[in-house]
């Protein structure tokens, strides 16, 4: 009876919060694959340190990963690189650069491991509060995947804004320029 009640409470909690509830034995990679397959342009992925606040909005999907941030970043990027449908714009917190190893032991090793797990992708630094605001703003109309890790270091969360893998900003700018040129040429034509 107690187990049945526990299952009902867990199911209701997951349904009401819009978040997935996971037991420690759950394979986070399988759930990550499932969620990553649903994401597209302008969706966000947050690979968070252990204390990032839980979110309860619809559209935020949370996964508990029994791994550290660099391993999860590596896994997510490998997944995206295999399909080439999406590419991430990666943000790190500006505060992370200022956190000293003697105040947060392991931070130097974390930064080195993170650098390797990024697969050469460039990162942009923003204040953590600005990144949380961007994520919350995106969640008003788009899905956000939060993968909470076991990393226990301040300001170590990684934020990814998804972009099309087959179309970049330069291609978009050329297209817009071409459309504008065609529009101007059409306006410049004499009337019949």
Residue 102's pLDDT is 95
Q: What is the pLDDT of residues 143-185, one digit of tens each?
A: 999 999 999 999 999 999 999 888 877 888 899 999 999 888 8
Residue 12's pLDDT is 35
In a domain, 145, yes or no: yes
85 band by pLDDT with thresholds 50, 70 and 90: confident
Tell me the two tokens of residue 13: 């909690």
Q: What is the pLDDT of residues 36-78, one digit of tens each?
A: 999 999 999 999 999 988 878 888 999 999 999 999 999 999 9
Is the model's pLDDT at 8 over the cut of 70?
A: no
Specify which residues 109 forms β-bridges with: none
Mean pLDDT of 117-140: 92
Please tell me the distance from the alpha carbon of residue 5 to that of residue 61, in angstroms, as a whole number: 24
Domain range for 134: 17-188
Is the model's pLDDT at 2 over the cut of 70?
A: no
Q: Please count the other Cβ atoms lying within 10 Å of the Cβ belonging to residue 114.
A: 21
Residue percentage of the chain with pLDDT more than 70? 86
In a domain, 101, yes or no: yes
- The angle subtended at Cα 85 by Cα 84 and Cα 89, nearest 5°, is 85
Per-chain mean pLDDT for the chain = 85
26 band by pLDDT with thresholds 50, 70 and 90: low
CATH value at residue 30:
3.40.1650.10
Residue 171 contacts residue 88 (beta carbons within 8 Å): no
Residue 10 contacts residue 21 (beta carbons within 8 Å): yes
Q: What is the pLDDT of residues 117-126, one digit of tens each?
A: 999 999 999 9
Strand ranges for the chain from DSSP E: 44-48, 60-64, 86-93, 123-126, 144-148, 158-164
Specify which residues 88 forms β-bridges with: 162
Mean pLDDT of 130-138: 88
In a domain, 2, yes or no: no
Q: How many domains does the chain have?
A: 1
Torsion of CA 78, 40, 58, 35, to 10 degrees: -30
Mean pLDDT of 85-110: 95
């Amino acid at each position: 009876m107690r187990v049945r009640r526990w299952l009902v409470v867990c199911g209701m909690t997951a349904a009401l919060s819009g978040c997935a509830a996971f037991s420690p034995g759950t394979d986070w990679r399988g759930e990550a694959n499932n969620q990553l397959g649903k994401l597209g342009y302008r969706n966000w992925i947050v690979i968070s340190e252990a204390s990032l606040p839980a979110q309860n909005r619809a559209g935020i999907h949370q996964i508990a990963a029994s791994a550290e941030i660099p391993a999860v970043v590596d896994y997510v990027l490998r997944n995206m690189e295999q399909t080439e449908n999406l590419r991430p714009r990666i943000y790190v917190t500006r505060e992370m650069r200022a956190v000293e190893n003697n105040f947060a032991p392991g931070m130097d090793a974390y930064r080195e491991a993170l650098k390797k797990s990024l697969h050469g992708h460039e990162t942009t630094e923003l204040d953590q509060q600005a990144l949380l605001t961007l994520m919350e703003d995106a969640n008003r109309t788009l899905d956000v995947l939060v993968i909470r890790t076991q990393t226990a270091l301040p300001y170590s969360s990684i934020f990814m804004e998804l972009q099309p893998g087959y179309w970049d900003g330069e291609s978009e700018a050329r297209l817009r320029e071409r459309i504008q040129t065609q529009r101007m040429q059409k306006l410049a034509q004499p009337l019949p």
